[in-house]
Structure 1
Amino acid sequence: MKKGDKRGISATIATILIILITVAAIGIIWGLVIPMIRDSASYGGYDADLIIETEGGYTYFDSDKGVACVQVRRLSEGSNLSRIDVLFVYNGTTLEDRGNFSGEEIPQTNEAKTKCFNLTIYSDGVGGYDAPDSIKILPIYLDGAGEVEGEVISTVGGDGSGDDSYSSGNFPDGGSADPIGTKVCEGGCDDGNDCTDDVCLEGVCSYSNKAEGDSCSSGGECYEGTCYTELLRSCATLSVENGKYLLRQLVYGDSGTCFSIEADGIDFDLGGNSVYGPNDQTGIGVSINADDVEIHNAGVTNPSGGGSGGIVYFNYGIAIGAETSGGVIRDVRACDSQNGYDISCGNNGEGYSGEGNNFDPAKTSACDNSWPRLDKRQYAPCVAPV
């Protein structure tokens, strides 16, 4: 360069530098300035600190009147709080219909307020009302464009224990409770089944099975929505007329009788389980000493023979008593009674029928006469277990 030659940067380089400076400025504004503006504007108001208060007994459910009362406490000021929505959850589903605290119902800082909600459309089907699984509160805020939902900030469950659970209570006669929901189930939802919870949700009946072992009104036990006279887990005498029994596990018998059926009309469902006799093949697996008995679902049966498990390794797998009648044996594998009979029929036993069974024809004692319908259509022979 000659002395006195003062050249500047090229126009292209200048343009590139301007673009880079502009991009950097935008990044600074986006990362620093906008958050500062947002925090100082309405967005900064979405910070209401609210809880559902469970101490003192003001948050509760009255199952007789179908009323849920909720006490909400406000711990800090926040701003822009428009209302507080109250959500009720049944069977894992949040109801579309909500309750709310609005206007003067909204508590001030360090204040608690209580409001009650009428949930009588959610009947338990037996004269009372089902409590919600849980209750939640959701703050609703105001900004320049309208209302904005916050996030659920407090939830209490309905088991009645612990700091995060609500309890049962008594809603006062003549008290005020806002109705929740408008859809009803015409005719109610009670299906007459003691082993299901029957609930009306949003105008639709919902049914769910009660827990295994819950009591039925008949004094029995629930399993998968059915009421059984007894859930069996060991050898037993079945003695309730028209009783319904379910075997819940594999059972090992001894040299005596494992299951003795002593009353008419009993239904004995072995639940796909097996009954094993002692190693010396003595004793009786199931003894039928009554009329109109049904035994079914023992082991795995196979129309072409085979199968596995069942009533096995006894001297008599099934012993049908003399002068009994009207029984049904279906889907039962009674095999491997090496010293005696898979099935034995006493004199004059008649009117029995069967379907889908596995018996060994050579080990059915007197059944061709006293069980006239025992033929190839009703059983297949036992073969080696599969």
Structure 2
Amino acid sequence: MLHVLVGATCNNNCIFCMESDRGRRRTHILSQSADDIRRMIESYPDKTEILFTSGEPTLAPRLPDYITSAHTAGYRTIALISNGRRLSYPEYTRHLIECGLNKITVSIHGHRPEIHDSLTRTGGSFLQTVRGLENLAREKRRRPLDLHSSTVVVGRNLPYLVDIYEFLRDKSVDRMVFNVLMLKGRGLDHIGTLMPTYRQIASKLHELAQRISAADRQRVTVADIPRCTALGLPFDIVGDQERFSQFEPSQSLGVEGLSMEDLRRMQAEGSNKMLQASLLDVVSEGEGCLEGDSEYYLTTRELKDGLMRTKRPLCSTCIHEPGCPGVWEGYTARYGWDEFISVQADGPPGEKTNQKQRATNLPKELSSTVGTPTAGAEPRSKSEK
């Protein structure tokens, strides 16, 4: 999947926004010409899915043109992630769909204004987002449209996950994605007030899973929670980490808080991040750039996030390790490693059925038949990172 960054500004001010340095990002996005974006769209080899993102994409004046370019280029899924506020205007919403948009994810973080608006820090945003969802529901009755929701799970809305699910179920949402807070940008800045433990999150998600039918669970995905901390949840609702590529300006890591100088230091010190740093160093120098253009290079989420995540030696024995991106370093610095375990399959490798769960390090309500943890989840010293 290709992510194309088009939103230079945003009309919300979310406390957990991954882009805390909006000034720098705004400068980058405004420096992209319409021709730059068109070449990004056309040059990406995999035309399966494209997502317009960053800031609030619907505030980009040329968004309809970019959607048309993606449609002309042959992308099968043309997607948008939005706070939904501008989608409260029916004519604008209809125009985007007519240009070729066929998948929309709306960010909504509560079932009541006082919850959602306190997280977006923008009064009236909830009511406008809901009107956007209602417009999209009407459009779904007229033409094919895949409608998803995205709810960032933090301490403030954690007690209300069932209520949020029920609210969205009645809004014709095809898939409800509960995104556990990603500890970068403002999420890391406010970790103390926003981030519950994964154990606490898993307990509330377990409550949600118990309240809905197996058929309804097909509409729910939980993202960005380590599988080893979510063993009591139905296996099919815990999603794998989304993989995507995006273009970044050359000589920029595209990682807030890390500069090219930091990258050079990691390499010089022989940091365990040296592989990611070396790869980013290569591509940011011009390899993999747009044809005939040294201003942008193509990078991936794994490369960038890998600089902010960590694993410990015990992780290598876990059946989920090959697909696990690791744990946010900000999380382990605050909470340690006690809740993380190495999951061992009782059957053949890769077999997810008939696994057994021992209750070590798990809350009582999450003890269910899903896997066997390996003991030894002691906190790790910094030297092991």
Shorter-chain TM band: under 0.3
Instruction: Report which of the two has the higher share of strand.
Output: 1
Q: Which has the higher helix share?
A: 2
The higher radius of gyration belongs to: 1
Higher RCO (CA 8 Å, separation ≥ 6 residues):
2
Report the TM-score, using the length of structure 2 for normalisation: 0.22
TM-score normalised by length of structure 1: 0.22
